[in-house]
Structure 1
């Protein structure tokens, strides 16, 4: 029996999710891991499938920016859909065996996993032939409403993308689009149907169990995620605010970053952030917890190493002199737009933006 490893990743920036699918897909193709199910939440984002029509995004660019919603084009099937906090996104990275190499059967099986999960909450759901996804209500009913979107991609029977189940999702964000190009019906969530919020870990466990059952897979325990911190150091305020960037030594990648590092044994994230800040800059000061935690894959190693990072911010005086640690060979104080342009990873850029807001810069 093939194995299924389920990773519960929490928040994942959308572009990091694309990278996760890529590196896990390569690992699965090479036989370096079994089948994988990535369970996560994205920040607010609109994704356009291969069949997407741009006019199904009904909000202006200005409205999207004010709502903090990004847009991405993808290689999955389908039209425009929305991802955001409170929505459980599942990316099955499966190499379908010979007996299951049927696209329609695969889509039906993914739908069935969602349908069985909803049934555990007393919700009867199903499919509507002319519309993709999982629905509550009948095709011709005026109250037909979608609770889960399905959009998959298969390449030589290796699967990616998957489903998005509305659990505690902010449903007004669906007004920014015509969901999946369907204007005749609405959307709903577990929270709306039940009248109360539903614990996400509970839903994750149920859907993971159904994926193992439906696809005939044996659950395997995932390796623990590596815990790290990032710290944005800021001096000045308003237009004069400057962010400290550190350049890694060539043998460590040679790219610019903010302060980053791993937790040591027994450390709490705040302790690690303060320690890393001192070791990499020479500054001893309090750090501000940004309450920003996200997961990503480190580099393009196969199989990938998964990291959960906690974001922090700190402020220093204008006359503070940086003392570089061993990991870096240069530093610069730059304005925020320059920092965002230089930082290569979405999570670091998000950390900078949150830090400026948190510190009133």
Structure 2
């Protein structure tokens, strides 16, 4: 029996999710890993499939910016869809065996995994042949409403992209688009249908169970390889705000970053953040938890090396003296636009963005 390794990653920035799909896919093609199912949540984004029509994004660029929603083109099938917090996104990375090499069968199997998951929570869902996805209500019924989107990509019988199941999703964000290009029907969530919020971890657990059954596999639970912290050291407010950037030594990449570092054995994230600030800058200051935790792949290693990072901030005085540690060869206090332009990774930029809004200790 094949194995299906299930990774429950929490928040993943969308571009980091694309990279994870690529790396897992390459590792699977090279048979360096078995089949995998990535379960995660994205920040608010609109994604366009190969058949997407731009006019199906009905919101203006200004409205999207106001709502904090980004737009991405993808190589999956389908039109435009929305991802956001409270929605479980699943990326099955499967190398289909010869007996399963049928695109329609694969899509039906993904639908079946979602339908069986919803049934476990008392919701009767099904497919509507003329429309993609998983639905509540019948074809032709005025109350037909989509609860799960499906958009897949297959190459050399390797599957990427996948599905999005609305659990506690902000349904108002679907008003920014014509979901999947379908104007005749609405969108719903498990929360709306059941009348109360639903535990995302509970839904992920059932999804893992049902997809393991649908694809005749033995489940294995995946884990992250490394836990890290990112700390934005700031001083000033508003337009006067400045961010401390550290430049890594050439042998460590030579790029600019915030304070970062790994958790040591037995160390909590807040303890690691406080220690890294002291070691990398010489500052002994209280740290503020930004409630920002996300996952990504470290570098381009195969198999992928998974990292879970926790974001913090530190507020320093304008005349603070910085003493660099051995990992960096320069530092600068820069304004926020400069910091966001220099930082090479989305997670670091998000840490800075959240630090601007954080309360002072």
1:328 matched residue in structure 2: 328
Instruction: Tell me whether 81-90 or 235-244 shows the greater mean CA deviation.
Output: 235-244
Instruction: Answer whether contact 2:7 2:39 (CA < 8 A) is retained.
Output: yes
Take 2:84 and 2:345, find their aligned partners in 1: how far apart are those partners? 20
CA offsets per residue over residues 316-348 of structure 1, 9 Å max, x none?
111112111111111111111111111110000
Secondary structure of residue in 2 paired with 1:223: coil
Instruction: Answer whether contact 2:154 2:160 (CA < 8 A) is retained.
Output: yes
1:231 matched residue in structure 2: 231
1:260 matched residue in structure 2: 260
Secondary structure of residue in 1 paired with 2:283: coil
Instruction: Answer whether contact 2:224 2:308 (CA < 8 A) is retained.
Output: no
How do residues 312-351 of structure 1 correspond to structure 2 at under 5 angstroms?
312-351=312-351
TM-score (norm 1): 0.98
1:50 matched residue in structure 2: 50
What is the aligned length?
360
Take 1:149 and 1:68, find their aligned partners in 2: how far apart are those partners? 21
Instruction: Answer whether contact 2:235 2:315 (CA < 8 A) is retained.
Output: yes
CA offsets per residue over residues 196-228 of structure 1, 9 Å max, x none?
111111111111111111111111232344211
Instruction: Tell me whether 344-353 or 247-256 shows the greater mean CA deviation.
Output: 247-256
Instruction: Tell me whether 13-22 or 213-222 shows the greater mean CA deviation.
Output: 213-222
1:194 matched residue in structure 2: 194
1:86 matched residue in structure 2: 86
Take 1:167 and 1:278, find their aligned partners in 2: how far apart are those partners? 41
Take 1:359 and 1:246, find their aligned partners in 2: how far apart are those partners? 23
Instruction: Tell me whether 239-248 or 19-28 shows the greater mean CA deviation.
Output: 239-248
**What RMSD in Å do the two structures reach over aligned CA positions?**
0.9
Does residue 353 of structure 1 match 2:346?
no
Take 1:163 and 1:85, find their aligned partners in 2: how far apart are those partners? 14
Q: Gaps (5+ residues) in structure 1? A: none
CA offsets per residue over residues 49-93 of structure 1, 9 Å max, x none?
000000101111111111111110100000000000000000000
Take 1:86 and 1:226, find their aligned partners in 2: how far apart are those partners? 25
Q: Gaps (5+ residues) in structure 2? A: none
Secondary structure of residue in 2 paired with 1:33: coil
Superposed structure 1 runs of 4+ greater than 2 Å apart: none
2:9 matched residue in structure 1: 9
Instruction: Answer whether contact 2:235 2:241 (CA < 8 A) is retained.
Output: yes
Deviation, structure 1 residue 359: 4.7
Take 1:104 and 1:256, find their aligned partners in 2: how far apart are those partners? 47
Secondary structure of residue in 2 paired with 1:108: helix
TM-score (norm 2): 0.98
How do residues 77-156 of structure 1 correspond to structure 2 at under 5 angstroms?
77-156=77-156
CA offsets per residue over residues 304-327 of structure 1, 9 Å max, x none?
111111100111111112111111
How do residues 215-226 of structure 1 correspond to structure 2 at under 5 angstroms?
215-226=215-226
CA offsets per residue over residues 247-306 of structure 1, 9 Å max, x none?
111111111110000111111111110110000000000011110111111011000111
Take 2:221 and 2:167, find their aligned partners in 1: how far apart are those partners? 25
Instruction: Answer whether contact 2:249 2:327 (CA < 8 A) is retained.
Output: yes
